[in-house]
Amino acid sequence: MLDINQAIAAAERSSSGIPCKLEELEPWSEDVAREIAAKEGIELTPEHWEVVCFMRDHFEECGLAPSGRTLLRCLEEEFAERGGGKYLYRLFPGGPVNQGSRIAGLPLPAYSSDKSFGTVE
């Protein structure tokens, strides 16, 4: 069931020029992800790829998350059996939302500059 707040936010994002679909994003490939990760000191393992693929699939299905906290909750829920947040921060020490989004080639959700998500700077 579609949440009315999500529908309104999606409409605002699409009218503001913020990408809402994978096709609207800059070209991305696994090689691009490896380059970004290498610049951030991360060697992508199969565990990293699971998170990156989940983030891209989630973006494709749901669009841009309304906030960094919302995306983090989705990630923690999906990877709860492996340790949730601790597992994600071990993989992405710069923050699973910020660092993960950069590596996945996705735009950052609103309110992602919170230190608990990692920082963009």
In a domain, 71, yes or no: yes
Average pLDDT score, the chain: 81
In a domain, 31, yes or no: no
In a domain, 62, yes or no: yes
Q: Which of these, 15, 25, 18, 90, lies nearest to 56 by C-alpha position?
A: 25
Q: Report residue 60 as tokens.
A: 């494709």
In a domain, 61, yes or no: yes
In a domain, 84, yes or no: yes
Q: How confident is the model at residue 28 (pLDDT cuts 50, 70, 90)?
A: confident
Q: Please report, rounded to a whole number, the percentage of residues in the chain having pLDDT higher than 90.
A: 55
Contact 75, 51 (CB under 8 A): yes
Residue 8 has pLDDT above 70, yes or no: no
In a domain, 23, yes or no: no
Number of domains in the chain: 1
Q: What's the CA gap between 66 and 6, in Å, rounded?
A: 7
Higher pLDDT, 27 or 70: 70
* pLDDT for 103: 95
Name the residue range of residue 88's domain: 36-107
